[in-house]
Amino acid sequence: DAGVTQSPTHLIKTRGQHVTLRCSPISGHKSVSWYQQVLGQGPQFIFQYYEKEERGRGNFPDRFSARQFPNYSSELNVNALLLGDSALYLCASSQQGDVAEPQHFGDGTRLSIL
């Protein structure tokens, strides 16, 4: 079975632009979460969605937004990009989004801001 898939794998943008990252969860998984990982640090939580509803939001500015589609795939949007947004953006999925469930990660989108 396919794992979590993310696209694109790499992306280069300039300051002020916007970007859309995409994620397809593991088949049968209904919950998707987004994380930002800066080099040398652990992933930081951005959003969690379950059945198209936002369940949680981390300490990120309103420039970050996301949504989940009826097929459970998800998009992360970032507007007005800053140099500090350069990072690996990870998507994770789980079956029900229950607090005790493990989350399974994709290999991420490497975003570089020039």
Task: Give 13's Cβ-side CA count (13 Å radius).
Answer: 23
Positive or negative, the CA dihedral 29, 112, 9, 21 is positive
Is position 64 an interface residue for another protein (rule: CB under 8 A)? no
- Which residue stretch of 11-19, 52-60, 67-75, 78-86 sits at the interface with another protein (rule: CB under 8 A)? 52-60
Write down the least CB distance from residue 16 to another protein, Å.
28
Is position 39 an interface residue for another protein (rule: CB under 8 A)? no
Rounded to whole angstroms, the Cα distance separating 17 from 3 reads: 30
- Which residue stretch of 13-21, 61-69, 71-79, 104-112 sits at the interface with another protein (rule: CB under 8 A)? 104-112
